C-alpha cells in the first residue's frame, strides 16, 4: 500500500502505523496496541487521542478497559474534505493579510534585496515575475539587454513567454548585444554591434533588475535585484543608450 496518501492528510508515521494496525487487528487496548506497534503506552495513547479528534478512531469500554477501533476507511474522505475547507479558510486569511504583509515589506526602503535562481525552473520564475509585475504597472513596458546564448535559455525555460507578453499588452525595448534577434509584436529592437553572444541577459522592470546567464558549470542561473533606485538608474542609462543608437 502506498502510505504517502496518509502523509498527504498530514498524518505522522506513528499515526499511520497505529491506524493501520487497528484496521488490521480490530479493537485493541492501549497496552496491546503499544506492544504491537513498539510504542510506549503514553505515546500510543496520545496518538489515539489525535486520531480520535480527526474522526479516524473510536473507543468503547470492555470491563474496566478502553478498547480502540478504527473507523470506516471512508472517513478518510471526510478528513480530506475538512482539510480542503481549512485550506480555503487559510487562503482567505492570507489574502486579507497581504496588504499588511506588503506594507511590512515596503518598510525595507531602498535596501537592495537579491534573489538567486537556478536551472530552467529558476529562469521561468524570473520571467513569470517580469510578466506579473509589469502587468500591474500603469505603463506596461520593460527594457532588455539581449544576448543570443541567454535568449536561447529563456526560450527553453519559457517557450510561451513572448506570446504571454503580447497577450498582456506589455511592450519591450531591446538592445541586442550580438547579431540576430527578431521583433514579434509590441517590441522594438536596436543592435549595439559588439557581437558578444555569451553576454548576460539583463531585464530592467518595475523597480527590479534581472540578470540571466550561466555559472561555471555552464548551467543557467539568474539573479533579481529588487531596488527602485538601482532599477531607475539602469533604466535611465538604457534609454540614453537607446537614443544614441541609430
Q: What H or E segment, with its residue span, contains residue 226?
A: strand 220-226
Class of domain 113-244: alpha beta
Summarised one tens digit per residue, pLDDT across range 26-61 is 888 899 999 999 999 999 999 999 999 989 999 888
Contact assessment for residue 186 and residue 170, using Cβ atoms and an 8 Å cutoff: yes
Average pLDDT, the chain: 88
Contact assessment for residue 19 and residue 6, using Cβ atoms and an 8 Å cutoff: yes
Where do the structural domains in the chain lie, given as residue ranges?
4-76, 113-244
Q: Starting at the earlier edge strand, list the strands of the sheet with 28-29.
A: 28-29, 65-70, 57-62
- pLDDT, mean of residues 108-119: 79
pLDDT score at 144: 96
Q: Is 3 helix (H, G, I), strand (E, B) or coil?
A: coil
For residue 55, report the phi and psi dihedrals to the nearest 5 degrees. 80, 20
With residues binned 3-state (H G I as helix, E B as strand, rest as coil), the percentages for the chain, rounded to 5, are: 50, 25, 30
Q: Starting at the earlier edge strand, list the strands of the sheet with 113-118.
A: 113-118, 220-226, 208-214, 201-205, 141-146, 171-176, 187-191
Is domain 4-76 classified as CATH 1.10.8.620? no
pLDDT score at 240: 96
What percentage of the chain carries pLDDT values higher than 70?
95
Amino acid at each position: 500500500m502506498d502510505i504517502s496518501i496518509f502523509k498527504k492528510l498530514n498524518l505522522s508515521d506513528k499515526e499511520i502505523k497505529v491506524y493501520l494496525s487497528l484496521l488490521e487487528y480490530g479493537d485493541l487496548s492501549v497496552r496491546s496496541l503499544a506492544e504491537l506497534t513498539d510504542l510506549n503506552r503514553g505515546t500510543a495513547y496520545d496518538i489515539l487521542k489525535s486520531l480520535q479528534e480527526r474522526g479516524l478512531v473510536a473507543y468503547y469500554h470492555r470491563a474496566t478497559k478502553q478498547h480502540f477501533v478504527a473507523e470506516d476507511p471512508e472517513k478518510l474522505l471526510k478528513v480530506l474534505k475538512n482539510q480542503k475547507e481549512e485550506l480555503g479558510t487559510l487562503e482567505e486569511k492570507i489574502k486579507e493579510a497581504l496588504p499588511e504583509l506588503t506594507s511590512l515589506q515596503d518598510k525595507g526602503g531602498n535596501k537592495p534585496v537579491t534573489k538567486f535562481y537556478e536551472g530552467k525552473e529558476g529562469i521561468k520564475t524570473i520571467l513569470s515575475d517580469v510578466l506579473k509585475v509589469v502587468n500591474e504597472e500603469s505603463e506596461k513596458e520593460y527594457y532588455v539587454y539581449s544576448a543570443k546564448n541567454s535568449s536561447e535559455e529563456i526560450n527553453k525555460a519559457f517557450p510561451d513567454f513572448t506570446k504571454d507578453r503580447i497577450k498582456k499588452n506589455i511592450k519591450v525595448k531591446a538592445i541586442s548585444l550580438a547579431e540576430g534577434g527578431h521583433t514579434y509584436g509590441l517590441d522594438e529592437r536596436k543592435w549595439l554591434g559588439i557581437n558578444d553572444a555569451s553576454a548576460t541577459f539583463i531585464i530592467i522592470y518595475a523597480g527590479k533588475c534581472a540578470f540571466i546567464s550561466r555559472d561555471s558549470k555552464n548551467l543557467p542561473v539568474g539573479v533579481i535585484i529588487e531596488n527602485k533606485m538601482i532599477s531607475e538608474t539602469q533604466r535611465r542609462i538604457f534609454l540614453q543608450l537607446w537614443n544614441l543608437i541609430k
